[in-house]
Amino acid sequence: MKKVKRKKPKPRQKVALLSVYHKEGIVDFARALMELGWALIASGGTAKVLAEAGLLVKDVAKLSGRGPILDHRVVTLVPEIHGGLLALPKHLQELKRLGIPWIDLACVDLYPLEAEVNRPGATRESVIEKTDIGGPTMLRAGAKGRRIVVADPADRPKVIEFLKKGKEVVAWHTEEFITELAAKAEGIVTAYTLVSARYHSDGAIDGMVGTEVRRCKYGENPWQNPAGLYSVGSNDPLALDKFELIEGTDPSFINYTDIDRLLQTVTHIAAVFAVNSDVLGAVPYIAVGVKHGNACGAAVSYDYRTEAIERMLSGDPRAIFGGVVMTTFSIGELEAKTLLYALTTGGQRRLLDCVIAPSFTEAAKDVLARKGGKCRLFANAALAKLTSDSLDSSTRLRQVRGGFLRQPNYQFILRATRWDQYGELAPLQSRRADLLLAWAIGSTSTSNTITLVRSGRLIGNGVGQQDRVGAAQLAIRRATEAGHATAEAVAYSDSFFPFVDGPAALAEAGITAILASSGSVKDEEVKAFCKGKGVTLCLIPDTTGRGFFGH
């Protein structure tokens, strides 16, 4: 008998499900899929956009045989969709019998719930209406079914490139790619659900979902590994993931904690100058250097960038060795040389661990480079545009054993025009800029803190002390050891003086003005003491302006 050749079964046409709230770019993505031979299924609004663009697409309503119900609250929650996403290979015959297509890819984005929650005038009803149910369900079904799930529009080009490779993609890589997309989809859904939980519980339920954007060498110590920087996808231009490492080896965990602390200090300096521009003029050039998060040098200059750098370095030349510096201006060759060689002897080079600025010239990169990439350079153009709106407004969460603590961010800004209401003695006009600078530095340094400023520069920062007089004595000692004259300087205390001993130490050092808070039973005694010593004293109510930070 003559053998009959059996025809090879025709390959199954792959099917993509598209259901997006934001339609930007979806036509291009769908067209690319069609060019690869894929069939398209889409929910109502998405199907309409694709059809108007001339693409062949089947509406979910036609697939299921029923249109949206309950005022469009139920559209994609049908077996024809979720059966096609959740089926296993062993279910192919059942799908065929039921007339349900196997869905290979789900491209879904979600209703803008967070935008609605944050919208002025939003109500519980409006938030509920913007709470997506079908979208998260499709993403999770696709992830469970090991389909290609595209929850982030930024991944669409990557998916098309992956599909174009076809048979060139080995099995393990396919699994790895699908897993990566599924994990991202689950993360997006988790963050989305957390927004809803936070809103409906009035904050009684909270948390954080982040994605690792950079692996650190290790944590605070070499044995704390792995460690990394995670992003929550914030639109904040000053979020740490927006800082580009343009030179140097991988940042350490401590590099990032220093940058975070620096941002608090630098933005508070910019904000207090911006808010008090009627008294002080425009926001000046700002340079701040930290060691272990606390400012050991900080200065402003209205005229020259190099002047701001030199003043900053002179604050505590010993402590800044191996420190981290942030500026609100770009670094060129001259600024780079000033950072490394100003105030050193015999042309000795100053070692810095990180420099963060809006940008760097190529010449500056060459000057600052250290062997082994040990000087990391970070660039973020947003540093050059700081205003009173640049303070971090996000809720601060801090992990503790068994949970976390939550509080609003540090957003109080001192206004010089209100000082007269804070006490009988208002600060001298000539000392206002220094007092404002001292406040911005001290209120973003580890409590307890006494901060000394003179002529637009930090000269002594007594941070993290267990008693206030000890903080005052430390600030004075650091200033004198760095070669600064404390006479005519001003002081800021991040809380009230429980005794006269703190102001006494400051007065003896020649401090002419003190900014602190009231709330001590010794307030009247402190006022009388300062008046007797000719020291200008300004006390802000402790409940209004206390500056505790970094506990």
pLDDT higher than 90, residue 522 = yes
Q: What is the mean pLDDT of residues 478-493?
A: 96
Q: Alpha-carbon torsion 241, 247, 253, 259, what sign?
A: negative
Cα 249 from chain centre: 21
Name the percent of the chain lying above pLDDT 90. 85
The single residue listed with the structure tokens 């503790």 is: 400
Q: Model confidence over 258-273: pLDDT tens digits?
A: 999 999 999 999 999 9
Q: For residues 246 and 268, is the Cβ–Cβ distance under 8 A?
A: no
Transcribe 19-48 into DSSP letters.
E-SS-TTHHHHHHHHHHTT-EEEE-HHHHH
Domains assigned to the chain: 15-200 (3.40.50.1380), 244-389 (3.40.140.20), 414-545 (3.40.140.20)
Q: Model confidence over 20-34: pLDDT tens digits?
A: 999 999 999 999 999
Question: Distance between CA 236 and CA 386 in Å, rounded?
Answer: 12
Q: How far is CA 441 from CA 155, 192, 282, 414, in A?
A: 42, 37, 19, 12
pTM over 0.85: yes
Who wins on pLDDT, 365 or 432? 365
pLDDT higher than 90, residue 280 = no
Q: How confident is the model at residue 379 (pLDDT cuts 50, 70, 90)?
A: very high
pLDDT higher than 70, residue 170 = no
Q: Side by side, which strands form the sheet with 105-108?
A: 58-59, 39-42, 15-19, 105-108, 148-150
pLDDT higher than 80, residue 354 = yes
Q: What is the dihedral of CA 44, 50, 53, 58, to 10 degrees?
A: -90
Q: How confident is the model at residue 427 (pLDDT cuts 50, 70, 90)?
A: low
pLDDT higher than 90, residue 442 = yes
Phi, psi of 121 (to 5 degrees): 90, 0
Going by C-alpha positions, the residue among 309, 285, 306 that lies closest to residue 297 is: 309
Strands 490-493 and 513-518 turn out to be parallel
pLDDT higher than 90, residue 82 = yes
Question: Distance between CA 486 and CA 203 in Å, rounded?
Answer: 47
Q: What is the mean pLDDT of residues 110-130?
A: 95
Q: Which residues contact 403 (CB under 8 A, 6 or more apart)?
A: none
Going by C-alpha positions, the residue among 131, 99, 123, 136 that lies closest to residue 19 is: 136
As a whole number, the mean pLDDT across the chain is 93
pLDDT value for 426? 59
Question: Distance between CA 485 and CA 503 in Å, rounded?
Answer: 17
Question: Distance between CA 535 and CA 508 in Å, rounded?
Answer: 10
Q: What is the mean pLDDT of residues 493-504?
A: 97
Q: For residues 98 and 155, is the Cβ–Cβ distance under 8 A?
A: no
Question: Distance between CA 322 and CA 350 in Å, rounded?
Answer: 8
Strands 490-493 and 450-454 turn out to be antiparallel
The secondary structure of 229-244, three-state, reads: EEECCCCCCCCHHHCE
Q: Side by side, which strands form the sheet with 490-493?
A: 244-247, 376-379, 352-357, 323-327, 285-291, 294-301, 457-462, 450-454, 490-493, 513-518, 536-541
Transcribe 109-150 into DSSP letters.
----HHHHHHSTT--HHHHHHT--SHHHHHHHHHHHTT-EEE
Q: How confident is the model at residue 142 (pLDDT cuts 50, 70, 90)?
A: very high
pLDDT value for 68? 80
Q: For residues 478 and 461, is the Cβ–Cβ distance under 8 A?
A: yes
pLDDT value for 65? 77
Number of residues in the chain:
551
For residue 256, give both structure tokens.
């990032």
Burial tier of 322 (Cβ tally within 10 Å: 0-12, 13-18, 19+):
exposed
Burial tier of 189 (Cβ tally within 10 Å: 0-12, 13-18, 19+):
buried
pLDDT value for 413? 95
Going by C-alpha positions, the residue among 464, 515, 465, 469 that lies closest to residue 490 is: 515
Q: What is the mean pLDDT of residues 412-425?
A: 72
